[in-house]
Amino acid sequence: MRPQPILFCNPLSVIRPLVRLMLRFSFLGIALLAVNAALADPAWYDGTNQKGVEPGTPDFYQHQTNSLSEIAANSGWCWQTAFEDAMYYLHNNGYGALYTDNANWVTAMNSNLNSIVGTPDGVNGFMSNYIAAKGYGAQLAVTTAVNPGGNTSAIFNTFTQDLLNGSNVLIHLVNSSGVSGLWWSNTYHVVDAVGFDKVNGKIVIADPDNNKYGGFGYPGSTTTNILVNYDASTELIPTASGFGDVGTITNAPLQEYTVDNTGKLTSGPYAGTLIDQLFVIGVIPEPSTIALVLTSAVMFGGYRLAGRRKNRPRTG
């Protein structure tokens, strides 16, 4: 019987497919790392306890003595002041032109508020117009999220995710239940939301209607219309750094409120008011979109490289 010939396999014919397969997996791994980096929780967030406060936001005061006409007890620039809080934060985090510094921080607070108040286009549009006028219209956008109603945690979950995504979030409150004792009566109030405790359903805010050294027409006050201004000569700028800055309505830069499944506040001096809208100030595109683009680009590049190697003419 004739012996069978020994067949020798070209090792390259085995190795090349394995290399291509490994390349595909490595590019996929890089893409997944890109997604994880883009969507990773921020350093200030305690994922174990599902809570955190974004540091660096100031507690500016809407009633500070100013050249503006609205400094009376029954009025004020709450929306514009909450927006100024966000502009100060962004100014210190890559968007320098959104806020103009001054050696006297109270002067800077008033001057920037005047600039924001003077930005045209009514209520909501002033935010986008201000950002565009400062040169960041192609980088930052203001998006409105409306409370869908019903017995769900939709508005609370939207807020927490937006904050985790790196956006600044202003909360618009309305007195839809006819709560008495509010200095803003049956109109609205806007605050800057900077943190949350998800397990206990709480939001953490910087409220333009109070400052660290006293209130001015805040709800529940037995003595209303007490104007207690900030003074840069004796007080440091009230910039929040974490949960240690959370306290009562009159003695801390930040306050904490419990929110029920409908978006209604159930604790604190604003109990009974409703979160009806969020104004989300974030990058264009927002982080999840960036992650998708990175994934697509990396994966496409990997397959294209593997394809080029596959179609390259063999020389031997």
pLDDT in tens, 134-146: 999 999 999 999 9
Instruction: DSSP letter for 2, please.
Output: P
According to the model, what pLDDT value does residue 227 have? 66
pTM for this entry? 0.78
According to the model, what pLDDT value does residue 28 have? 47
Yes or no: domain 45-284 corresponds to CATH 3.90.70? yes
Question: What integer best gives the mean pLDDT of the chain?
Answer: 79
What span, in angstroms and rounded, lies between the C-alpha atoms of 308 and 96? 44
18-40 per-position pLDDT tens digit: 546 555 545 445 444 444 444 58
Binned at pLDDT 50, 70 and 90, residue 290 comes out as: very low
Binned at pLDDT 50, 70 and 90, residue 102 comes out as: very high
**Average pLDDT of the segment spanning 310-314:** 47
On the question of pLDDT at 203 being above 50, the answer is yes
According to the model, what pLDDT value does residue 298 have? 46
Please give the structure tokens belonging to residue 230. 């900030």
According to the model, what pLDDT value does residue 269 have? 82
Domain boundaries, the chain: 14-40+290-311, 45-284
147-185 per-position pLDDT tens digit: 999 999 999 999 999 999 999 999 999 998 888 877 777
List own/partner pairs for 224-231 with CB under 8 A and 24 or more apart. Answer: 224/73, 224/183, 225/73, 227/63, 227/65, 227/71, 229/61, 229/64, 229/65, 229/106, 230/61, 230/64, 230/106, 230/109, 231/106
